[in-house]
Structure 1
Amino acid sequence: MQDSDSSVDEFAPPEQEDDEGDEFMEEDATAPDEEDDDSQTVSDDEDAPRGESICDIDSDLGSDIPRSKRKGKPSGLKSSTAALSKVVGHGRNQTRKMATAAGGKTRQRMIEDWMKGGQEQRFRTFFGPTVEDMYPVLQTKDHWTKQLTLPSRDEGNLRRSFFASAEAGEKDVKSTRKWYADAGREAFSKGQKSKMITEEEGRGYMVNDGPETTNFLLGGVKQPNIYTLKKGEYMSLSTPFQPASTRRGWMFNLGARIQEAQWVPNEKGSTQYLAVAVEQKRPGKPKHKPMENPKASAFTASKPFSSAIQIWAFDAVSNGRMDPSKPPRLENVICTEWGAPRFFQWWPIGAKDVVEPDVQDNVRLGLLAGVWSDGKLRILDVTFQKLASSQKPSYVHYAEAAFELEMPETIPTCLHWLSGTSLAAATASGSLAIWSLNRNNGLTTKPWFYKQIADTYILSLSSGYPSRPQMISVTTADGFARLFDLRSPALDACSAARGRALVLCQGWHEHTQSFVMADEHYLLKHSSIRRFHGNMYSMRLASAIVCCATSPVHPGVLVGCADGTVETSNTAPKIFNVKQLPWQQIWFKHEWRPPIEQLNLTLPEPSPAQTDSNIQQAGPSAAKKMAAQARPIGITMPPSSSNVPASVLSKPLTRIAEGYKPRQLGMTEESTRAKYDMKFITVYEEKSAIIKMAWNPNLKFGTWAVAGSNSGYLRVEDIGV
């Protein structure tokens, strides 16, 4: 800033000389006022007197701005606060220049707010106006600023949310475990009827109508290999990329559609457990062609039949990474006569921090809530005896559950744990029911909350646990998403904009305080609890979103699509700053094709060099080479595309592609349809879709992920970097 004695512009219009000022005034008139106002300011704010403020600006530079060019308020204004400053610029670029005080020096008491502009208003709108609301946002933004797509295993990167109070979390864990030790365990033990059965009997509960073997095309793009896996077998993900592979994970062929996959809470245990259920159908049930079922395609109750839930165990090393040297084990099979399990979920708080065998070799996994196809909701206390002398699994048959109920005149369609002792379930009639297991009257099937919250079928249910357990979000068949506050559900309710596609899956993103769900335009949207009616988009996909998964220990989001693609991204930077261009990375891509005969294609004539007999002769040498690797099964080198043997073309084939690089995508789709003559909607093979995904919720193992497809392909991998 400069002195006011600078030379006057000779070419200035004479009529502008009367409008001197703007916040600059004559030195004679302003000098006394400046002194008075300065002293008054110091007295008003004694904690930060002049000379001890955050920023003091001294300038002895002169000014080239003539008086005749200065525009603003009349010179009669006596306020020194206005007199010493001048606003320059517009919007976010708005700054404040300080005028020259007496003595040729300018002083500013404090720097401008760092959130000056649109970002301050955005933060206040989405997270709250107080410092307590803002502080967790800034902590989250700084802590995970380096995570672009895949979660990092650097020290301190995996941690619980800044929004959830550590004291409240410890109190919840303590009260839940106290209830289970004092009353819950005994109540389930008395009401639950189960027994061990033989392996021969247990195998009958695991039957599904999938093919006995499946061919997989795996490996590098230039030299992929064909592997054959039988139903129920698995293989290491590093096998197709030997010897230079560092992948930590396993792939399974379970034969039929993956119905559900959920991790067991086990914070500090070296063995992690995964519960998996596949699609099972009632024997003798008539089969209909696609789109020709005369009954409703929605969930309808069926007659009881045999089914199973598989419990797989995965070992870890000391730092929490998956141990690739130890293959997974089928530890336990839950056998029931209640029809196929539609969906289930483990309680969020385990009975102990470590799940391990006790002195009697009994392993207690905890409470499992689920809905079976007979239309009933049940809670099981899952416990099995580990057979130390054998590597074979134990089979436990459950005849009766301690907590079992049937909704009046409707059926449950989805469920969600609100805490370690509270369970919520939604119904086909649009009602919401909530039970608390720790009430004085024991395991009563009468809910303490039962209310009609929608007019139609509820598709998905989620809550803001652990930081906002009272917030409930549902999506319904009429295209709306609705948010409720359980403290006053009649008043505190909000609906989002209606969509034209059904939202079958949603998740609570703890690190942005929002619910994530699919959008009809192949976008992943966030619905903040303070602006639920508005949508924020963070990821753009190439096909319809079928499922999504969020983690409580890092901000990474997994998205599964109809074309078999699984992508991941850290969506927090995009939500915090709308101008941020998000990073996305494809974890893997799963493609399935039926036999060529079903595609109305003519089989090519095989060349003499690529006959079935030649391929079978190549099998032993290839199998010998793979003998030292984890579970190699029938490897053959792929022929050229023009000489594919009939034995490969006549069977279904699954291709897995991986190794994609991260990329930045905007929310606006690029105009590539005209170039490639692409249509807006593409129909993919039904069995290519990824339909179930889940992050491991345990802190030390938060980089483990599972994804399942319609074809029976299940992938479990530690994708931390």
Structure 2
Amino acid sequence: MPPRPRRSNRAPGARTKYIDDPFEAAGVLSDEDEDPSVVATRKKGKGKAKQPVYDDTSDEDFNMGNGNEDEEEEDDDEYQDNDVEMVEDDNDAGEEDEEEGDDDDDDAASVSQANEAPRRRRKPAATSTPRVPKQRRPDGTIALAGDETHSRGSWNPLEHVGKAVHLRVTFGTDDRDLFSVLSARDQWCRGLDSTFPTRATLDEAPSVNDYGYGRSFGLESDELPRESTRGWDWYYDEDLGARFRKSQRMKKIKEKDARRVYFPRPRGEHTVLVGPLEGQKVFSLGRHDVVDFGEAWGEVPSKPVKQESKGKAGSGGERKKKKREGWILNLGQKIQCLAWVPNQGGLTQYLSAVAPILPDQKEEYPDPLKDQAAPAFRPSAPYPCVLQLWAFKAQEAESLTRTIDMTFKPRLRLAVCTEWGDLRRMAWCPMPRAPRDEDDEGAQKNVGLLAGIWGDGRVRVIDIKLGRDPKQTEFYKLQSPVFEAKAPSTVCTCLTWLSPSDLAVGCANGFVAIWSILPSQASPSNPLPYFYQQLHSTWVLSIASAYPTNPHIICTTSMDGDTRLTSIVDPHKDMVNTNRMRVGSAHLTYSPMLHCFISSDENDFARLLAVRRFFTSTAIARLPSMISAVGPCSSWHPSVLFGCTEGTVQATSPLRRMLHAKEKQWQQTWFQHEWVRGPDANSSGTSRFHDGHRAESTSLLRNLVGDPKLVNGAAVITVFEEGTHVTALSWNPNQSCAGWAAAGMGCGLVRVEDLALS
């Protein structure tokens, strides 16, 4: 008979101590029956105490307390902190050393256990063992003993740490990054700036203490001015720049031919209802018509004027301001792309927009590759398309920021016609560009470099220029751009600028390619990328650069649900993923003021991804429906715009949420748009705008309790008309007009308004 294995008669862990134990009151079990060594082992444990283990796991009334109730309430959302730190318990080592005994004791223990009556389970006390705080050094790092090791590479966000440690964990340990964030905190953490930026704060920007790195976003103060001058030397070079500019060929065409072929076909007038809810005004807009929706609102009550200033303010030529002022444009078809032109310091501001032709117009052009592959992975037919450039004007003002001049009616200034398919993505070069004397020498003035991705799968760069006559509308057909490239064996899907001469492009096969747009002697017809790496397994939905703080870092989202941060210096090692989603996000933008990326979630949440803590995400907004558009972040304020499928545009400032996890998150609706079909299938339909929403505090808890989308116990998703969707958003990137915003709808309307709160 084989020898019996050794077993200890001592419990493997600390015994559970109950309050008001009836067995102890009856004298069946007392503290004297416990082994002194077990009691000593239980008392000397530190850190998290081990929980009692029961053989019967069906006790639903048993509530296991762990002493972390305060920590669980620290954040409202599961994406804020989803890391778990393993705490080693010293009881394990002590129990192994004390497991000694002989076979006689084991036999006696087994007989005693067999004859003992089953014990009744009792609910433990509400109190739990408090967590022992860890010893830390003055800089926030954990002070370890000589024989201890620390396995985590970063601090645990679940711990209660000071504000200084929280800033280092979120933004980094470099003083330049910390001073940049502190400068943004001092300027934008006021209560009025929780949603839209205020005009007073925008005007105070030059006088606020930036700690030396606030206005440069963590860079040295001379780096951005140097890039705005020396970074563009290649463009004005007599050899390199001349060959670059001469490679573009544009041909003037008649306005009648351009509107007949390249613009969406007119579908009648579009009816728009806007104004106060109790008395909305009706407008009828044809294609390319513009209306001032401020006519539907009353005038702002005039403030009392002092006696000595009545003579100055009594001029009859002054225009009274309305409660709401802005423009509504009708482009006749879904707004595919929308973006303000950067580096425009004057009164004239330009808004670029793309509205593809109608589906019945596309049927006139045969598609030779229709049966070869899926439409997303192959070039499309050579549909005609047009890039529209609209001019807006700002009022003269003594302050830094300017409002929209409502006496100047916006007009179409430039139409660039192409035959390479729909213009699906476009991006103006955002790098600062200082004006030079060479800009005023030619017959045309420089506007900027525009990069775009057309339906044929190629990426192109256009050097946009305008004539000197501000009242003339120019129509051109683009025959060849200044730069054109195509990734091998795939099509381009998204793009972003890395520098004035470098362009990063995502592809349908999961690769990311980076080109230099400078003229090349090796392969001028089809230049090769100097960076071509596979970062995802399939279609790259969006790509953004961490310019200007970390221009070598790019963030990408894909159809596989992954969101990845990659360094182009070493993409195989310097790479990190965040929480994977079931559905890929097509929206991604970088905020240089917050040092983070902002993207949409698979549901109706917006999330924030800090560069230094990319492995976890923070929920910053909850929208009433699926997110359909995210406006590119501004360099002059931290407010972010989100558009929904139900036609709502909301704004929020995630700065307070980043600095203090328990701060309330405020959101405010810009407008809500509704669209219905007309009686005729080819009609433009009818749109209605709702305005005047107040700021509200939103709960970011991820539960369905009280959720309006919960119907009969099941979560439902409402499908809205495509004409109702908000398809494009854009903040004005120029400092004097930083409060201007534009929104494009699926029905072809564009709304432009100054959102800076006075």
The TM-score with structure 2 as length reference comes to 0.69
| In 2, Cα distance between equivalents of 1:674 and 1:404 | 49
- Residue segments in structure 2 that go unaligned for 5+ positions in a row: 1-129, 137-158, 207-213, 301-321, 365-369
Question: Which secondary structure does the structure 1 equivalent of 2:229 belong to?
Answer: helix
Shift of 1:482: 0.7
* Alignment length (residue pairs): 557
Q: 2:182 maps to what in 1?
A: 138
- Please list, as runs of the form range in 1=range in 2, the aligned pairs for 1:241-260 lying within 5 A after superposition: 241-244=297-300, 245-260=322-337
Which of the residues 328, 333, 337 maps onto 2:419? 337
Question: Which secondary structure does the structure 2 equivalent of 1:530 belong to?
Answer: helix
Shift of 1:504: 0.7
- Please list, as runs of the form range in 1=range in 2, the aligned pairs for 1:88-487 lying within 5 A after superposition: 117-146=161-190, 147-154=193-200, 155-157=203-205, 160=215, 162-182=217-237, 183=239, 185-209=241-265, 211-244=267-300, 245-280=322-357, 285-286=362-363, 296=374, 298=376, 300-319=378-397, 320-349=402-431, 351-353=433-435, 358=440, 361-387=443-469, 391-438=471-518, 445-487=527-569
Q: 2:19 maps to what in 1?
A: none
Counterpart contact for 2:176–2:219, Cα < 8 Å: no
AA partner of residue 176 (structure 1): G
Question: Which secondary structure does the structure 1 equivalent of 2:687 belong to?
Answer: strand
Sequence identity of aligned pairs in percent?
31
Counterpart contact for 1:475–1:504, Cα < 8 Å: yes
Which of the residues 594, 599, 621 maps onto 1:517? 599
| In 1, Cα distance between equivalents of 2:357 and 2:375 | 16
- Cα offsets for 1:291-327 (capped at 9, x unmatched): xx99746364112132211110111123422211111
Change beyond 3 A, Cα 1:343–1:133 = closer
Counterpart contact for 1:336–1:399, Cα < 8 Å: yes
Shift of 1:568: 0.5
| In 1, Cα distance between equivalents of 2:360 and 2:684 | 25
- Cα offsets for 1:210-253 (capped at 9, x unmatched): 62211111111001122111111111131211444243421111
Question: Which secondary structure does the structure 2 equivalent of 1:501 belong to?
Answer: coil
Shift of 1:397: 1.6
Select between 431-440 and 369-378 the one with higher mean Cα deviation: 431-440
Question: Which secondary structure does the structure 2 equivalent of 1:687 belong to?
Answer: helix
Question: Which secondary structure does the structure 1 equivalent of 2:404 belong to?
Answer: coil
| In 2, Cα distance between equivalents of 1:518 and 1:184 | 41
Q: 1:661 maps to what in 2?
A: 694
| In 2, Cα distance between equivalents of 1:123 and 1:468 | 18
- Cα offsets for 1:549-593 (capped at 9, x unmatched): 211111110101111110001111101111111111101111111
Question: Which secondary structure does the structure 1 equivalent of 2:224 belong to?
Answer: helix
Change beyond 3 A, Cα 1:268–1:442 = farther
Change beyond 3 A, Cα 1:161–1:242 = farther
Question: Which secondary structure does the structure 2 equivalent of 1:700 belong to?
Answer: helix
Shift of 1:682: 1.6
Which of the residues 706, 710, 722 maps onto 1:672? 706
AA partner of residue 395 (structure 1): F
Q: 1:611 maps to what in 2?
A: none
Shift of 1:192: 1.2
AA partner of residue 580 (structure 1): E
Q: Is 1:582 aligned to residue 665 of structure 2? A: yes
Counterpart contact for 2:643–2:727, Cα < 8 Å: yes
Change beyond 3 A, Cα 1:467–1:652 = same
Shift of 1:176: 2.4
| In 2, Cα distance between equivalents of 1:249 and 1:468 | 36
The TM-score with structure 1 as length reference comes to 0.72
Change beyond 3 A, Cα 1:446–1:136 = same
AA partner of residue 126 (structure 1): T
- Cα offsets for 1:74-132 (capped at 9, x unmatched): xxxxxxxxxxxxxx99879x9xxxxxxxxxxxxxxxxxxxx993433322211123434
Question: Which secondary structure does the structure 2 equivalent of 1:578 belong to?
Answer: coil
| In 1, Cα distance between equivalents of 2:437 and 2:416 | 18
| In 2, Cα distance between equivalents of 1:439 and 1:356 | 20
Q: Is 1:687 aligned to residue 723 of structure 2? A: yes
Change beyond 3 A, Cα 1:442–1:555 = farther
AA partner of residue 494 (structure 1): V
| In 2, Cα distance between equivalents of 1:710 and 1:300 | 25
AA partner of residue 550 (structure 2): R
AA partner of residue 462 (structure 1): A
Which of the residues 636, 639, 661 maps onto 1:556? 639
Shift of 1:488: 1.3
- Residue segments in structure 1 that go unaligned for 5+ positions in a row: 1-87, 95-114, 288-292, 599-649
| In 2, Cα distance between equivalents of 1:164 and 1:262 | 26
Change beyond 3 A, Cα 1:284–1:221 = closer
| In 2, Cα distance between equivalents of 1:551 and 1:401 | 28
Counterpart contact for 2:267–2:684, Cα < 8 Å: no
Change beyond 3 A, Cα 1:665–1:90 = farther
Counterpart contact for 1:456–1:476, Cα < 8 Å: yes
AA partner of residue 636 (structure 2): V
Q: 1:719 maps to what in 2?
A: 755
Counterpart contact for 2:725–2:746, Cα < 8 Å: yes
AA partner of residue 695 (structure 2): P
Counterpart contact for 2:185–2:655, Cα < 8 Å: yes
